[in-house]
Amino acid sequence: MATAHATLAYRLTRRDRSATHALRRIAGAQLDAAVDALDTAGDARGAAVHAVRKRCKKVRGLLWLVAPVCDDADAASDALRDAARLIGPLRDAAVRVATYDALVTHYGAQLDRRALASVRRRFTLRRHDVEADDADARLRECRERLASVRDAVDDWTLDADGFDAYADGLRRTWRKARKAMACAARSHAAEDLHTWRKRCKDHGYHARLLRSIWPGPMDAHITAASALADCLGEHHDLAVFVAAIDAAPERFGDRAAIDVMRGLVHARQQALLEDALSQGRRLFADKPAALTRAWGIRYRVGREG
């Protein structure tokens, strides 16, 4: 129940009495769902970890939207980041196995899976080691930190209302995303592409929160931002995947198998880079002031209509 409610709640509505009320409502619902996921995880810890990390990102996205007019935003965002980092290793180990599977599936007809089995085996063993180490302690600490942030939500207050509460955060995030895209386009470096992905996801959260201002076009915009973030996310997963292999290649099998994996990763990353740059040029075509002005007009028309 809490999870379903939180999913529906991640947007501004006409029922919100003020921007401060919307902030408290949305953040409270997301954090309630995160705590509930940990309380009811049972043996499904992987799903709980994924859900909690997603909820933390959503609340941080909300906080970045209102940060220019919210004194509590930076500290709360940092607290949520640190809470999510506690359980990050549990998620990362599973992602590496999934990255291998996706890569092999993509190039399936061209591969001898038996020759590469040692790579997957090593990542699977690493996942089991991480899950067996101190997973329960990490989950408990994460829950305590999330509950602490949740307790403070009802005291959060904004210094502005209406679209004025969102304009500066929206404009700032859009500007950062465009700058990150330009940097990634110049360098093609995995680190720069990852930074671009984070800024793209930030904006995607803002678009979801503001969806009600213009549902049809906003849905298309949200879909485009999500597709770009997914593309960049796959690129990042591959970078982390190959870095783990390069850190201790002798643990992953013979040299021939490792060279094949590196070649596959490079080829896939190049294709993803080209796709991401193409998508990004379309999505981030507008300048920050133009996008903010257009969304502000739609917000006011929707509220007055």
Q: Which of 46, 56, 50 is nearest to 10 (CA)?
A: 56
Which pLDDT band, with edges at 50, 70 and 90, does 256 fall under? confident
Dihedral sign of CA atoms 68, 71, 77, 295 in order: negative
Please state the separation of Cα 84 from the chain's center in Å: 11
pTM value is: 0.92
| Whole-number pLDDT of residue 2 | 45
Angstrom distance (rounded) from CA 76 to CA 96: 29
pLDDT of residue 80 exceeding 50, the answer is yes
Whats the size of the chain, residue-wise? 305
**pLDDT tens-digit profile of 8-60?**
579 999 899 999 999 999 999 999 999 999 998 776 788 899 999 999 999 99
Share of the chain above pLDDT 70, in %: 94
Q: Which of 107, 118, 18, 32 is nearest to 69 (CA)?
A: 18
**pLDDT tens-digit profile of 239-250?**
999 999 999 988
Q: Of the given ranges (54-63, 93-102, 233-242), which has the lowest mean pLDDT?
A: 93-102
What torsion do the CA atoms of 87, 91, 94, 100 make, to the nearest 10 degrees?
-140
Angle between helices 45-66 and 167-187 (to 10 degrees): 110
**pLDDT tens-digit profile of 289-302?**
999 999 999 999 98
Share of the chain above pLDDT 90, in %: 73
Which pLDDT band, with edges at 50, 70 and 90, does 156 fall under? very high
Residue type, 140: R
Q: Which residues 6+ apart lie within 8 Å of 22 measured at CB?
A: 12, 13, 16
Which pLDDT band, with edges at 50, 70 and 90, does 123 fall under? confident
Angstrom distance (rounded) from CA 178 to CA 208: 19
| Whole-number pLDDT of residue 264 | 92
Angstrom distance (rounded) from CA 174 to CA 202: 9
For residues 120 and 105, the answer to whether their CB atoms sit within 8 Å is no
Which pLDDT band, with edges at 50, 70 and 90, does 122 fall under? confident
Query: Quick one: average pLDDT of 80-108?
Result: 90
For residues 19 and 162, the answer to whether their CB atoms sit within 8 Å is yes
For residues 194 and 239, the answer to whether their CB atoms sit within 8 Å is yes
Angstrom distance (rounded) from CA 3 to CA 234: 26
Query: Quick one: average pLDDT of 56-72?
Result: 98
Roughly how many angstroms between the first and final C-alpha of the chain, as a whole number? Answer: 32
